[in-house]
Amino acid sequence: MAEPGHERPSRESPAAEFALALLAEFVALGVTDLVVAPGSRSQALALAAAELERAGLVRLHVRIDERGAGFLALGLAVETGRPAVVITTSGTAVANLHPAVLEAHHSGVPLIAVTADRPAELRGIRSNQTTMQPGIFAGAVRYERDVTAPSGAADERDAARRLARRAVDASQGVDDRGAAIAHPGPGPVHLNLQLVEPLSAAVAVDRAAVEARRATLAEQRPGPDAAGAAAVITAGPRTLVIAGAGAGPEAEAFARAGGWPLAAEVTSGAHFGPNLVVAYRELIQEPGFGDQVERVVVFGHPTLSREVPSLVQRDGVEAIAVAPSGIEWFNPGHRVRRFERAVRAEPHEQTAEERAWTGRWVHASRAILAAGEAADPGTTVASRGDAPVLSGVDETGHVSDFAAQRAYLKAQLARVREPVTRRMLVEAVWAATWPHDRLVFGASRLIRDADRVVAGRRIAAHANRGLAGIDGTVATALGIAIASQREPDAKPGTTRALIGDLTLLHDVGSLLLGDGEHRPRIQLIVGNDGGGTIFDSLEVAASAPAEAFDRVQFTPQHVDLAALATAYGWTYARATTRGELEAVLGTAVAAPTLLEVPLAR
């Protein structure tokens, strides 16, 4: 009979016994996803993970590349809000997790890296596949532990359980023992396990025991502490509310409660509501708008414009930064003087002047967007509202004016044949996304295009904006898709990822979904302009030699994306016109699909 609380481990391998106790406790603590990259030193952890999945206690994901595995775990954690565990072998495998660990650190995402290692006595003597893994993530982790190799001692199973509990707590920003956490709030954790031969043995899991343990822990463990009292932001100064990455719907509610205009980035979680100002970039620079701002309240981490940091640093502007957790604050130029974990608007009756202030921002933004729509032939009909209308039809539905009919059909045909522009693409994808869907943006030119023009909608949009890198975007999107679609009662949503060609190629290995791996409803929409056109906006592009600039910045590519999709077993589609784009976006996604949309440089 299994020891109450967990599993029936093998006594033949202390490594296997410790690995099973550790991972089973993670499951009992509410972890739902384990990501494994194969390796020799980590075999005990990998086989224990497989056994836990076989018992129906956890979902296992296997990836051959550790960088992709790390970002897959990141996406799973972003969607579920629970820490995901990523397991690797020793050596360079651990270093490949660093980009995902950094993104989790700066974005406040709970992530637990469990890395296998040689015993400490093999460090520094040129032992094969051995490096200094403790401390490899520098100051980016909430908690780190270098664990001495298990030897089979009687108390090691309990030690494994205590380690799991400490790791989960730290990943969620919780400190249940009074020890200081270096960076408040959720984030990554590193457990480095020294393991010695025999590295594995057969293991068996008692599902009923693990489930009983999970129920016991749920009763024993305290819930999260209540948030501190929100600071009151008084009425009076002409205020602009800004929402960056991680802001959440609280930013929109605050702006609406205070009656202030809201500049919310497209992936802020606050890009909706009656006070939304989409054209905030232009208005911040416009006389009578940006130069009249007396106070800015900034939620989260704005990353998509230069205008916002410039406004925060402007003389005469009071800046208030709001973030529920984290040690780093948005503080451009070190000009912010007030930092709050939560805020609320002072209840008051708005004056006519306050209503006029917000109304001018909202109406001016709409006018700017309308002017842009008129100038851009690629604007979608949904936003422009000028689809060809058939005239000359009587009340019975019969055509009475054949010339008008011919003109109508000609206009319709011309519209369908319009080549896809960036604005058309971002607006079409935005319009095709529903609340039960997920939308992921890559760190390319397209997220900025979307931020400039898409209308307010309360949909789940995400991007890795902690460090705003293109690393692991495909893997992150897959993690979000898998986690959002697995619940039995979940609506049949689709995850779309709108990315650039270089973002795809940088993470192309994540397209590999091996045997037994979940294949979610995901559509990678690749705006293919042949290279990094985002760099064309750099000032140096106008002065540098064109050939040199293209080679080292634009980095032209001519990859056959259809062949690439076929090689990895993805469905492929291509859209070059408005009609083709609307047709593909209007078709249900049943399997992983790559949609290529050629764009002009």
Tokens of 584: 């593909």
The reported pLDDT for the residue numbered 8 is 46
The reported pLDDT for the residue numbered 539 is 87
Out of 227-236, 314-323, 419-428, pick the least confident.
Answer: 227-236
Mean pLDDT of 60-77: 98
The residue among 492 and 237 whose pLDDT is bigger is 237
Q: Helix-strand-coil percent breakdown of the chain, rounded to 5?
A: 40, 15, 45
Burial of 321 (0-12, 13-18, 19+ CB in 10 A): buried
Res 465 pLDDT > 80: yes
Mean pLDDT of 155-162: 96
Instruction: State the pLDDT confidence band at 11, using cuts at 50, 70 and 90.
Output: low
The reported pLDDT for the residue numbered 207 is 95
Residue carrying structure tokens 């080679």:
551
Q: Which CATH architecture group holds 422-598?
A: 3-Layer(aba) Sandwich (3.40)
pLDDT tens for 511-552 read 999 999 999 999 999 999 999 988 988 889 989 999 999 999
Res 410 pLDDT > 80: no
Res 572 pLDDT > 90: yes
Residue carrying structure tokens 């979680």:
269
Res 225 pLDDT > 70: no
Q: What is the DSSP letter of 553?
A: I
Mean pLDDT of 485-491: 74
Res 180 pLDDT > 60: no
> Buried b / exposed e across 61-72, counting CB within 10 Å, b at 16+?
bbbebbbbbbbb
Q: Are 447 and 441 in contact (CB under 8 A)?
A: yes
- Based on its alpha-carbon atoms, the radius of gyration of the chain, rounded to whole angstroms, reads 27
553 φ/ψ angles, rounded to the nearest 5 degrees: -115, -60
The correct answer on CATH 3.40.50.1220 for the domain covering 231-364 is: yes
CA distances from 46 to 53, 161, 202, 311, 441 (A): 11, 18, 12, 50, 32
Average pLDDT, the chain: 90
- DSSP three-state, residue 34: strand
Mean pLDDT of 71-86: 97
Tokens of 304: 């998509």
Instruction: Return all residues near 133 (Cβ < 8 A) that are at least 6 apart.
Output: 90, 94, 115, 117, 146, 192
Instruction: State the pLDDT confidence band at 174, using cuts at 50, 70 and 90.
Output: confident
The reported pLDDT for the residue numbered 384 is 42
How many other CB atoms sit within 10 Å of the CB of residue 282? 18
Instruction: Return all residues near 557 (Cβ < 8 A) that are at least 6 apart.
Output: 501, 502, 505, 530, 531
Q: What angle do CA 74, 79, 85 make, to 5 degrees?
A: 40
Q: Are 70 and 223 in contact (CB under 8 A)?
A: no
| Ranges of CATH 3.40.50.1220 domains, the chain | 231-364
Out of 266-275, 280-289, 486-495, pick the least confident.
Answer: 486-495
In this structure, which topology does domain 14-220 adopt according to CATH?
Rossmann fold (3.40.50)
pLDDT tens for 361-377 read 999 999 999 988 766 65
Cα dihedral 442, 448, 454, 455 sign: positive
Among residues 205, 207, 188, 213, the alpha carbon closest in space to that of 86 is found at: 188
CA–CA distance, 294 with 356 (Å, rounded to integer): 15
- DSSP three-state, residue 63: coil
Res 402 pLDDT > 70: no
| Ranges of CATH 3.40.50.970 domains, the chain | 14-220, 422-598
Q: Are 100 and 122 in contact (CB under 8 A)?
A: no
The reported pLDDT for the residue numbered 6 is 46
Instruction: State the pLDDT confidence band at 586, using cuts at 50, 70 and 90.
Output: very high
Res 320 pLDDT > 90: yes
Name the region of 486 (left: φ>0; alpha: ψ -120 to 50; beta: rest). alpha
Helix axes 445-453, 422-432, angle to 10 degrees: 70
CA–CA distance, 28 with 582 (Å, rounded to integer): 46
Res 453 pLDDT > 70: yes
Res 25 pLDDT > 50: yes
